[in-house]
């Protein structure tokens, strides 16, 4: 018989009720683990991106294109190392799988994004083959694509000059990321040759969705961005220039403020959990008032009894929370296997760390009132049933 044994024995003095409460805690933490990791995917997916690149888009929206003639103008700006233009192609593979397809200049892509790595002969092939396409490693693995294969894509935006929306590209290279973060990004994108796109598309050939500027010095980002936007102010093509990281965050926010949605869902879940577990613990203490009085009679101090009750709630929340996070981790792996890098949910150490804090806060929040009640009870009154 130990103190921890006493805590566990008391916790399970009503087994069915405790198991049901435990299940609700587990369910809440499964949801917490998955939503929190989803939130991370959306909110901190750009953390690894440095400030060495600026993105210039139309001031109206990134869905409005800018004229290609801006390329040499941006290239000529002091502090700009190289400019890359890209056009959103909107590729759909097979039945309805959306593939993030961008029409780019191969040579400019190679210069502006050194983070994408690929054998040099593949870069050359991408440059030389007009129908060439390169795909991220994870994406290629997902669909079993091999270099040399023809990849059919349908564009819902750009028909060919012959009116067909069906395009066919030659896969000439498979690129990877320079490090783990960039490698994770290779599950979503493919690049096609802009020259071919411009030549074959019915319209849009002279336009670019965005310009990506690689800078010589990240400290100049703010002044260059201001300079660009001032230059095109009051023109037909007003621009909005921001760091690549801000651009990505803004892109995600087009879907909605995922972080806010997740926070509200979690708030609702934990508020409900607070009531469920709080009620269970309050009931449990109410039922055991004579037993708690006996503990005090035997010499357990008020604080020791408070500690025992708090320990019960903490153990309940810890068991449920850890089990829930464990299940969420497993489910995250399954989701990743099923959806690939398109939804890179990972219940990683950051989720576990936040989960750990949530377990402690929840345990203290639901346990404090019953524990204080147990602490306050007077032996003589409790034994007399008053």
150-155 vs 189-193, strand pairing mode: unpaired
How far is the C-alpha of 63 from the C-alpha of 386, rounded, in Å?
A: 72
Place of tokens 């796109």: 197
Q: What's the closest the beta carbon of residue 3 comes to another protein, in angstroms?
A: 6
Compare residues 119 and 290 and give the one whose CB is closer to another protein: 290
Compare residues 255 and 298 and give the one whose CB is closer to another protein: 298
Compare residues 295 and 316 and give the one whose CB is closer to another protein: 295
Are 207 and 65 within 8 A, CB to CB?
yes
Q: What's the closest the beta carbon of residue 359 comes to another protein, in angstroms?
A: 24
Compare residues 84 and 295 and give the one whose CB is closer to another protein: 295
φ and ψ at residue 329, rounded to 5 degrees: -60, -45
Q: What's the closest the beta carbon of residue 289 comes to another protein, in angstroms?
A: 11
Sign of the CA dihedral with 324 first, then 330, 334, and 337 last: positive
Compare residues 23 and 384 and give the one whose CB is closer to another protein: 384
Compare residues 148 and 299 and give the one whose CB is closer to another protein: 299
Find the largest Cα–Cα distance for the chain. Answer: 94
* Dihedral in degrees, nearest 10, Cα atoms 222, 228, 230, 231: 160
Are 176 and 118 within 8 A, CB to CB?
yes
Q: What's the closest the beta carbon of residue 372 comes to another protein, in angstroms?
A: 15
List 177's β-bridge partners, or say none.
Answer: 116
Q: Which two tokens stand for residue 63?
A: 């869905």
Are 193 and 132 within 8 A, CB to CB?
yes
Compare residues 6 and 274 and give the one whose CB is closer to another protein: 6
Q: How many CA atoms lie within 13 A of 35 on its CB side?
A: 21
Q: What's the closest the beta carbon of residue 270 comes to another protein, in angstroms?
A: 29
Q: Which residues contact 204 (CB under 8 A, 6 or more apart)?
A: 65, 87, 157, 158
Q: What's the closest the beta carbon of residue 376 comes to another protein, in angstroms?
A: 11
Place of tokens 């892509």: 109
Pick from 160, 246, 146, 267: nearest CA to 203: 160
Compare residues 12 and 143 and give the one whose CB is closer to another protein: 12
Q: What's the closest the beta carbon of residue 23 comes to another protein, in angstroms?
A: 21
Q: What's the closest the beta carbon of residue 284 comes to another protein, in angstroms?
A: 11
- What does the binding site for another protein look like in residue numbers (CB under 8 A)? 1-3, 5-6, 9-10, 12-13, 290-291, 294-304, 379-380, 383
């Amino acid at each position: 018989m130990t103190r921890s044994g006493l805590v566990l024995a008391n916790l399970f003095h009503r087994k069915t009720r405790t198991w049901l409460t435990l299940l609700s805690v587990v369910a809440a933490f499964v949801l917490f683990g998955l939503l929190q990791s989803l939130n991370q995917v959306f909110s901190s997916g750009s953390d690894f991106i440095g400030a060495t690149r600026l993105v210039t888009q139309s001031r109206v929206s990134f869905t409005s294109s800018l004229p290609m003639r801006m390329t040499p103008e941006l290239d000529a700006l002091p502090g700009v190392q190289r400019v890359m233009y890209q056009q959103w192609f909107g590729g759909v593979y097979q039945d309805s799988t959306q593939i993030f397809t961008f029409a780019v200049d191969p040579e400019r892509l190679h210069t502006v994004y050194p983070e994408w790595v690929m054998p040099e002969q593949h870069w050359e092939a991408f440059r030389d083959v007009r129908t060439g396409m390169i795909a991220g490693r994870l994406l290629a693995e997902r669909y079993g694509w091999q270099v040399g294969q023809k990849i059919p894509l349908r564009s819902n935006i750009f028909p060919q000059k012959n009116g067909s929306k069906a395009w066919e590209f030659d896969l000439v290279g498979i690129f990877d990321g320079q490090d783990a973060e960039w490698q994770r990004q290779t599950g979503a994108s493919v690049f096609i040759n802009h020259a071919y796109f411009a030549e074959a598309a019915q319209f849009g050939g002279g336009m670019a969705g965005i310009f990506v500027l690689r800078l010589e010095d990240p400290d100049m980002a703010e002044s260059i961005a201001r300079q660009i936007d001032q230059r095109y102010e009051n023109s037909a093509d007003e621009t909005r220039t921001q760091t690549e990281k801000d651009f990505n965050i803004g892109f995600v926010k087009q879907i909605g403020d995922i972080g806010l949605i997740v926070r509200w869902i979690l708030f609702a879940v934990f508020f409900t959990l607070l009531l469920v577990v709080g009620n269970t613990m309050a009931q449990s203490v109410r039922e055991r008032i004579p037993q708690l009085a006996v503990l005090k009679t035997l010499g357990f101090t008020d604080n020791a009894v408070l500690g025992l009750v708090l320990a019960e709630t903490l153990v309940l929340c810890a068991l449920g929370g850890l089990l829930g996070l464990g299940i969420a981790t497993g489910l995250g792996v399954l989701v990743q296997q099923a959806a690939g890098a398109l939804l890179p949910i990972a219940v990683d150490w950051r989720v576990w760390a936040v989960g750990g804090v949530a377990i402690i806060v929840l345990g203290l929040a639901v346990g404090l009132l019953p524990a204080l009640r147990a602490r306050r009870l007077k032996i003589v009154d409790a034994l007399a049933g008053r």
